[in-house]
Amino acid sequence: MKLYNLVKNEVFKMIGKKRLYITLGIVLVIIAAFAYGQYHSLDRTKENLSKRIGIEATSDWRKVLQQQLIDIKRRMDSPYMDDDRRANLRVRAEQMQFYLDEDINPLEVSAVTFSTKFIEQSLLFLLPLLMIILSADIVSGELSGGTIKLLLVRGVSRWKILLSKYITIILLEALVMFFVLILSIGVSGIFFGYGGWTTPVVTGFKVVAGKLVTSDIVNVPGWQYLMMTYGLAYFVAVVVGSVSFMISTLVRSTAASIGIVLSTLIGGSLLSSFLEDWKLPRYFFTANLKLTDYISGSLSPIEGMNMTFSLAVLSVWIIFSIVVSFAYFTRRDILV
């Protein structure tokens, strides 16, 4: 049997299951709740601002922004401003200029900024959880249900079966990411409008010797930043998918498999709090999941950890998971 047909078969098996729809349902509910919350807090922020400065922040933002821009330009001329900070100011000035030119109130949230933020926020728990739901029983489910025998008796080699399952996970993760994007843009657009595609976002931060370097930062349009975030999120999804795939191969029961991956995830993120002083946890995959922090610059840098390091660690985990799953699955005893 060809690999293509095996994958097709696996994909249909997954689509036939309720869990894919439950996953998407959860995403929809959470996005809606998140968007409503964001909308609500935006209202409150505006209210507070207008109360505090005594002006309608919503209508008077241009004046405030223009003054900030003048202020920044003056600070850039200051002779004792170091170059790092000056680059920072330059990028912020560019951003403000764009807001003024395009008449965008920087306080406003758009569908694009919301979707970016949503995926950034869900990178540590929500997204991995969804991937676990999706992939944690792909092998163990067949083992505990006994259906694995039906697959094996067809005379297809074991590695091919396992590979088809792995490919299916990779494909379905891309499918889920696609729906997450569509749903978050679709739902948040109702609240915030479907704009923000060209609004500049600051990126290009680098971590050198434990310090955040801002001399290379640039503005990229919102759509490009959204793509970057989703690209990194998918990589995270693949890592978590691979690890739970491995656990699923090693363990017989689905419940145990989900439980193990879940506790690994939570325990691992607890360990991340020691990152500063203890070198070991940084080689654990959970410590490296927040990849988007590197492009948003919103991290407290840790000596020795940067984008290259995290990607390397995560890649090693992917390879390790694949190797272990295949080595174990092709050798284990399954009573036919």
Q: Which residues bind another protein (CB under 8 A)?
A: 8, 11-12, 15, 52-54, 67, 70-71, 74, 76-81, 83, 86, 171, 174-175, 177-178, 181, 203-206, 208, 213, 215-216, 218, 220, 224, 226-232, 234-235, 291, 294-295, 306-308, 311
CB of 100 to another protein, least distance (A): 16
CB of 187 closer than 8 Å to CB of 105: no
Question: From the CB of 215, what's the least distance to another protein, in Å?
Answer: 6
Residues 6+ apart with CB under 8 A from 310: 288, 291, 294
Cβ 3 to another protein, closest distance in Å?
14
And the tokens for 285?
């995959």
Nearest approach in angstroms of CB 228 to another protein is 4
CB proximity list for 292: less than 8 A, separation 6 or greater: 119, 120, 123, 229, 232, 233
Query: Whole-number minimum distance, CB 294 to another protein, in Å?
Result: 5
The encoded tokens of residue 61 equal 């933002």
Beta bridge partners of 213: 206
H or E segment and range at residue 23: helix 19-53
- Give CA–CA dist 294/321, Å, rounded: 25
Contacts of 215 (CB under 8 A, 6+ apart): 83, 84, 87
Q: Which is nearer to another protein, 130 or 232 (CB)?
A: 232
Between 168 and 269, name the residue whose CB sits nearer to another protein: 168
Q: Which residue has the tokens 């010797």?
A: 209
The CB-of-267 to another protein minimum distance in angstroms stands at: 28
Question: Please, are residues 187 and 35 in contact by the beta-carbon 8 Å criterion?
Answer: yes
By C-beta, is 264 or 310 nearer to another protein?
A: 310
Using the minimum distance from each CB to another protein, give the nearer residue, 6 or 260. Answer: 6
Where b means 16+ CB within 10 Å and e means fewer, 36-58 reads eebeeeeeeebeebeeeeeeebe
Nearer to another protein, 7 or 260 (CB): 7
CB of 154 to another protein, least distance (A): 20
Nearest CB to another protein, comparing residues 12 and 21: 12
Q: Which residue's CB is nearer to another protein, number 1 or number 227?
A: 227
Using the minimum distance from each CB to another protein, give the nearer residue, 39 or 179: 179
| Residue 262 C-beta: closest distance to another protein, Å | 25
Q: How far apart are CA 227 and CA 182, in angstroms?
A: 13
Alpha-helical segments (H) within 193-253: 222-250
